[in-house]
Amino acid sequence: MIYLESFSIPTLDEEEQFLNYKAHEFCSQQYYPFQVFDSPLPTIQMQNITILYGGNGSGKTTLLNLMAEKLKLPRCSPYNRTPLFDVYADMCSMQLAGEKDGYPEPIPYESRFIGSDDVFEHILNLREENDARHLAAERAAHQWGRENTQRMRLDSRAQGGFDAFLNHMEARRSSRGRFVRHRVQEARREYSNGESAFIYFTEAIAERGLYLLDEPENSLSPNLQLDLVKFLSSSAVCGAQLVIATHSPLLLSIPEAKIYDLDHRPVAIRPWYELENVRLLHDFFYRHHDLF
């Protein structure tokens, strides 16, 4: 399913005109995302899976951020922006499915931007939640021990009232483990960073919606990257549209993906096996093929 049909940024002439005649109206010495792209960028025509490929500083993450801003997609983590970011985003244009016929299809509410920072924040939040649960469990266990070493009368308000009496009686007739479990939610299982990242993607991406993924390969082993390729391919078949910024040769090999090479001059659509990162690894392993 395609929800976003195309996206385009201002031309170099439009950028230059703004910087020469209007930029002075803004109290900023940072022009980002102006001047990120030093060559004309064609209108990006979307497919079910569209990949923005390029090295560091090529602008692929900037493009995703601009799409997310233009579409008002939810996201978790803050991102690089300046006072001119919104201005630049307003100068961008996009076309939704059905818009050329006058009946644009709404972007599904499940849609979202997912960056590597979101994944890391999820992992850190999980650890903080588990730390809090472990602390609460220790306190509940201490309370159980305290309740089982003292006596309490039902009519003794000085000892905490009726609720305190109920807690006391529960501790007296419960095992230590049962008393703790009744009060504290069990800590969620923690996985490695890569496993947690993979689980995060599988839980965040539904069978419909537009998802902008910024370098989802971060933290993933080659095996998990291949598992992610299978998951993303099946998600696209089921109704999700994916726009992915990556330089991972494994993710680039998604058969049905349309790849824009932002390192090429001019920017062009190219097959994965012609991309520099893929060629670099191919040549590296070829030079050492006798070791295999």
How does residue 143 score in pLDDT terms, banded at 50, 70 and 90?
Answer: low
Give which of 213, 208, 205, 269 is closest to 237, Cα–Cα.
Answer: 208
pLDDT tops 90 at residue 185: no
Lowest mean pLDDT of 133-142, 203-212, 214-223, name the range.
133-142
Domains of the chain plus CATH, in order, are: 4-119+194-291 (3.40.50), 120-183 (no CATH)
CA distance 2 to 203: 21
Lowest mean pLDDT among 78-87, 127-136, 206-215, 232-241: 127-136
For the segment 229-250, what is each residue's pLDDT rounded down to a tens digit? Answer: 999 999 999 999 999 999 999 9
Given a cut of 50, whether residue 163 has pLDDT beyond it is yes
Amino acid at 26: F
Give the model confidence (pLDDT) of 10-63 as tens digits.
999 999 999 998 887 886 668 899 999 988 899 999 999 999 999 988 999 999
What number of residues does the chain have?
292
User: What pLDDT is recorded for position 169?
Assistant: 60
Instruction: Provide mean pLDDT across the span 108-132.
Output: 79
Q: Is 201 exposed, middle or buried (0-12, 13-18, 19+ CB in 10 A)?
A: buried
